[in-house]
Amino acid sequence: VDSVYRYGVSMNSSPGTAPRHSVLDMSPEEFRRIGHDLIDALGDFLNGLPQRRVTPGETPAQVRSALGAAPLPDRGSDAAESLAHAFQLLDAHSLFNGHPRFWGYVTSSAAPLGALADLLASAMNPNAGAWILSPMATEIEAQSIRWIAEFLGYPTGCGGLLVSGGNMANFVPFLAARRSKAPWDLRKEGMASPNARKLTVYASTEVHTWIHKAADLFGLGRDAIRWIPVDDQYRMRTDELSRAIRDDRAAGLHPFLAVGSAGTVSTGAVDPLREIAAIAREHDLWFHIDGAYGAPAAALPDAGEDLHSLHLADSIAVDPHKWLYAPLEAGCVLVRNPEQLLDAFEYSPAYYRFELDESERPLNYYSYGPQNSRGARAVKIWLILQVAGREGMVRMIGDDIRLAEEAWRAIDAHPRLEALTRGLSIVTFRYRPPDVDVRDPAGAEYVNRVNQIVADRIQAGGEAFVSNAVLKGVFALRLCIVNFRTTLADVRGLPELVDRLGAEVHAELGH
């Protein structure tokens, strides 16, 4: 204490009157000047995206060498120069998922409005863990949750909160389900209870890998997952689901959670959600929908019966940083009964006094999920939903689906390409060398190899970006359009690119 006091005195000759000059503080003039320069540079960056490569396709060594290996500096540097340097590094050595021809994984083109919202949120920096620390940010988050629920056709009285992304948006309901359905005091005894080994969870073979992590991290172990087979459209087979639950019950196990997908990661398949809901109800299981990718398509009038059944779920994961076009990071949890989140996550330590007056129950988000301090992620989502409106959002999502249909048609019409699957805005396909018989195992393996190399070359080349899926042993190229910048011309150019690279690889391998 003494030395801190002396340090303070030595900084300010007359304590209490002279301003403190901290190295990280900025004068309003400096903040404005540097900020305007950055916004100008970002404006040019966004404007120039379509003319650039999706990625420079560099090696880790090249990127590290551009960054340099300087040790932590002893002396600080100029903020404007350092920020400009950071801009230059990222501008020259990044993959741009905002590029019109980025169609890999499930990563959206982010709305520029989201970037401005993030700046606003971090400049004000409310802590959305507790209401009194973030009065308006908390209310904006609550309203965003209600808007998302409304958009998906989910009851707006639900609970929910924003998290970092799809994995977390599935983990939170997984934990709420485990707490709600475990027939012992889970929060006290934990997974050391002998009953813990009996918990089983049901998901199709197509569910995203978050479920491996959840079963593993939360103490059930991967053996607790029952992998339910899919039909020829990659949808869960509900007869197999019923059978697996009955078999486990008969064996004295405790089935507690059924997971359906609203848009699987590989092919965009939507599980028979109504049927899964009925089976879950019959057997008293929690019904969770992983709609991280596809749930927003439920807002389309012609989305179909299963997407229009999201309201049957106990919980839903949906990712604003996927098909609501928010910048990373933003996932969203919806849980029908808000009490079930409190049941799973609430603690009230003596050092928090976050209660309001007795008439109001405060909305303290730290009690609804695993995070304690939380940023104001909701600002970007609230702004994006407000500015697009339901109509604008539906139009963008619908256009993405129509562009995927167009890609499917163009691929299907091409003599050396084979269209494999189409679901929501995902299309899978492959290059088919004309002189190779894929019914022969060696031929099938060879075609897989060709397509793996084609995928690598597309990804490094920067003309467009697709990722891959493996479908019953077939290596497929995969495009997923969650990108409001993609045009018809972008999509129509893809078959020619794949054909050119396919022919090149086939010639090189000399089959």
Ligand X SMILES: Cc1ncc(COP(=O)(O)O)c(C=O)c1O
Contacts of 10 (CB under 8 A, 6+ apart): none
3-state secondary structure of 479: strand
| 171 contributes a contact to ligand X by CB under 6 A | no
Q: How far is the CB of 419 from ligand X (least distance, A)?
A: 21
Stretch that binds ligand X, among 74-82, 189-197, 285-293, 300-308 (CB under 6 A): 285-293
Binder among 110, 292, 424, 501 for ligand X (CB under 6 A): 292
Interface stretch with ligand X, choices 73-81, 160-168, 395-403, 449-457 (CB under 6 A)? 160-168
Query: For the residues of 62-114, what is the DSSP string, one character each?
Result: HHHHHH--PPPPSS---HHHHHHHHHHHHHHS---TTSTTEESTT-PPPPHHH
Residue 198: CB minimum distance to ligand X, A:
27
Nearest distance from residue 319's CB to ligand X, in Å?
5
Does 306 help bind ligand X (rule: CB under 6 A)?
no
**Per CB under 6 A, does 105 bind ligand X?**
yes
Q: How far is the CB of 326 from ligand X (least distance, A)?
A: 11
Q: Is 361 exposed, middle or buried, given 0-12, 13-18 or 19+ CB atoms closer than 10 A?
A: exposed
**Which two structure tokens, joined as six digits, stand for 450?**
């060709």
Cα–Cα distance between 418 and 415 in angstroms, integer?
8
- Write the CB contacts of 511 (distance below 8 Å, at least 6 apart in sequence): 433, 435, 436, 446
My answer on whether omega of the bond before 391 falls inside 30° of 0, hence cis, is no
What is the closest distance, in whole angstroms, from the C-beta atom of residue 248 to ligand X in the complex?
Answer: 24
Task: Determine the Cα–Cα distance for residues 153 and 309; give it in Å rounded to an integer.
Answer: 8
Nearer to ligand X, 242 or 425 (CB): 425
CB of 423 or CB of 433, closer to ligand X? 423
210 near ligand X, judged by CB under 6 A: yes
Question: According to the binding rule CB under 6 A, does residue 165 interact with ligand X?
Answer: yes
Site membership for ligand X, residue 213 (CB under 6 A) = no
**What is 253-295 written as a DSSP string?**
-EEEEEEEEBS-TTT--B--HHHHHHHHHHTT-EEEEE-TTTG
CB under 6 A: which stretch of 131-139, 165-173, 176-184, 281-289 binds ligand X?
Answer: 165-173
**Could you tell me how far CA 146 lies from the centroid of its own chain?**
19
Interaction residues for ligand X, span 246-265 (CB under 6 A): 265
Residues 440-499 interacting with ligand X (rule: CB under 6 A) = none
Our CB check for ligand X shows the closer of 293 and 368 to be: 293
Tell me the C-alpha distance between 431 and 477, whole Å: 8
- In whole angstroms, how close is the CB of 391 to ligand X at the nearest point? 26
Greatest CA separation for the chain? 87
Nearest to 182, CA basis, from 277, 289, 257, 278: 257
Q: State the Cα–Cα distance between residues 277 and 250, nearest whole angstrom.
A: 21
Residue 208 interacting with ligand X (CB under 6 A): yes
CB of 479 to ligand X, least distance (A): 14
Write the interaction track for ligand X spanning residues 321-340; mark x where CB under 6 A is met and - where it is not. ----------x---------
- At residue 40, what is the residue type? D
Enumerate residues 6+ apart whose C-beta is below 8 A from 435.
511
Per-residue tokens: 329: 């990071």
Find the binder of ligand X among 34, 54, 106, 427 (CB under 6 A): 106
Strands (E) in 382-464, as ranges, are 417-423, 426-431
Residue placing its CB nearer to ligand X in the complex, 128 or 262: 262
Please check whether residue 133 is in contact with residue 174, taking contact to mean a CB–CB distance below 8 angstroms.
no
Cα–Cα distance list, 335 to 27, 67, 88, 323 (Å): 44, 44, 42, 20
**Of 93-101, 163-171, 222-230, 449-457: span binding ligand X (CB under 6 A):** 163-171
- Provide the minimum distance between the beta carbon of 328 and ligand X in the complex, in angstroms, as a whole number: 8
Among candidate residues 161, 171, 63, 169, the one with its CA nearest the CA of residue 106:
169
What is the spatial distance between Cα 62 and Cα 50, in angstroms, rounded to a whole number? 24
Comparing every residue's Cβ against ligand X, the nearest one is: 166
Q: Least Å distance between CB 207 and ligand X?
A: 8
Q: Which is nearer to ligand X, 292 or 447 (CB)?
A: 292
Spatial separation of the C-alpha atoms in residues 149 and 298, rounded to whole Å: 11
Is there binding between residue 226 and ligand X (CB under 6 A)?
Answer: no
Only one of the segments 4-12, 161-169, 252-260, 337-345 lies at the binding site for ligand X (rule: CB under 6 A); that segment is 161-169
* Candidate segments 57-65, 230-238, 288-296, 470-478, binder of ligand X by CB under 6 A: 288-296
Q: Which is nearer to ligand X, 174 or 293 (CB)?
A: 293
Restricted to residues 70-99, the positions that interact with ligand X (CB under 6 A) are: none
Residue 107 or 134 with smaller CB distance to ligand X? 107
Does residue 293 belong to the site contacting ligand X (CB under 6 A)? yes
Selected from 166, 327, 423, 495, the binder of ligand X by CB under 6 A is 166
Query: Which residues bind to ligand X, rule: CB under 6 A?
Result: 105-106, 165-167, 208, 210, 265, 290, 292-293, 319, 331
